[in-house]
Amino acid sequence: MPLDRHAQALLDLQALTGFQGFDTMPVAEARADMIARMADAPREPVARVEDRATPSGVPLRLYWPATDGNARPALLFAHGGGWVLGNLDTVDGSCRTLANASGCVVASVDYRLAPEHPFPAAIDDTLDAFRFLLAEAGALGVDPSRVAVGGDSAGGNLAIASCLKARELGEPLPAFQLLIYPVADSSCSTPSFEEFATGFGLTRNAMRYYWRQYAPRPEDAEHPLASILRADLAGLPPAFVLTAEYDPLRDEGEQLARRLQDAGVPATLRRFDGQIHGFFHLGHLIPDGKTAIAEAASALRSALGA
């Protein structure tokens, strides 16, 4: 279908202001710019917000919805940003909305960023945060049997990679995966990468840049914990996979959903036609973002009995 008019307006505004992409800036400047761009995102009130850290020092921000005193399901959420950008503040609004709409305690993880901390540091931090939620479930009011992992873009990659790592180590797996236009392969060679290489926000050159920062060694970029499509996906938790029509990552996300299904993993695929990468967090600018969060929350409620 045609590009959504709100997404087109955002792209037009970026072109008018001369925005060339975060990959064209020095890393520190790009990080500050992303934070500034998300500063005006609406932030719903929640029952409680608390900043915590795992015993090894990985920062977390926890959001509690209104509670009835019973143990809640939980979602560990890893932000996007090409493993290079983003922090707890850039997804604060979305995490608040997800907590309220899903009935889950949402824990946002501030994993270490590349290029200072390349693969697999971010995976280790994400898995460490999941272990923390299980270990502290009682004190947090969380049901340890109903803890999901999720994330958008690079965060979606980290969510499923943490499942693969836990399986490899023989540790408990999450109950569910919420994968929002996840990064799944380092080749950047699918038809959607060809079709939407430029002009739709996220570019092919940007993704290649992010991959170079995160996995500078070719063997790391090709590792199944980085290029998820190369992994054995059998035995992973059920998943909800969301993609966007005008996103270079669309095809690898949809391949991932099919690969999960082929491996016997219950996986639901939802494509948002007319949409661009990043719209999930931009409901204040692109109404489909609000719809996407509502559907993600519904998937969490159904899977976790929230």
How far apart (Å, rounded) are the C-alpha atoms in residues 178 and 74? Answer: 12
CA distances from 275 to 140, 192, 231, 281 (A): 36, 13, 28, 12
Q: Is residue 17 classed exposed, middle or buried when 0-12, 13-18 and 19+ CB atoms within 10 A define those classes? A: exposed
Q: Both tokens of residue 207?
A: 């993704």
- Active site annotation includes 79: no
CA distances from 234 to 13, 43, 92, 199, 239 (A): 44, 38, 33, 36, 12
CB-based contacts of 237: which residues, under 8 Å, 6+ apart? 148, 149, 163, 173, 174, 175, 176, 177, 265
- Active site annotation includes 262: no
Whether the link from the prior residue into 120 is cis, omega within 30° of 0, is yes
Q: What CATH topology corresponds to 5-304?
A: Rossmann fold (3.40.50)
- Active site annotation includes 108: no
The tens place of each residue's pLDDT in the chain, 306 residues long, gives 999 999 999 999 999 999 999 999 999 999 999 999 999 899 999 999 999 999 999 999 999 998 777 899 999 999 999 999 999 999 999 999 999 999 999 999 999 999 999 999 999 999 999 999 999 999 999 999 999 999 999 999 999 999 999 999 999 999 999 999 999 999 999 999 999 999 999 999 999 999 999 999 999 999 999 999 999 999 999 999 999 999 999 999 999 999 999 999 999 999 999 999 999 999 999 999 999 999 999 999 999 986
Is there a contact between 110 and 58 (Cβ–Cβ < 8 Å)? Answer: yes
Annotated catalytic residue: which of 153, 162, 186, 227?
153
**Which residue has tokens 């690898």?**
252
Per-domain residue ranges of the chain? 5-304
pTM: 0.98
pLDDT value at residue 10: 97
pLDDT value at residue 174: 98
Please name every residue paired with 106 in a beta bridge, in sequence order, or none if there are none. 63, 75
Annotated catalytic residue: which of 247, 251, 281, 288?
247
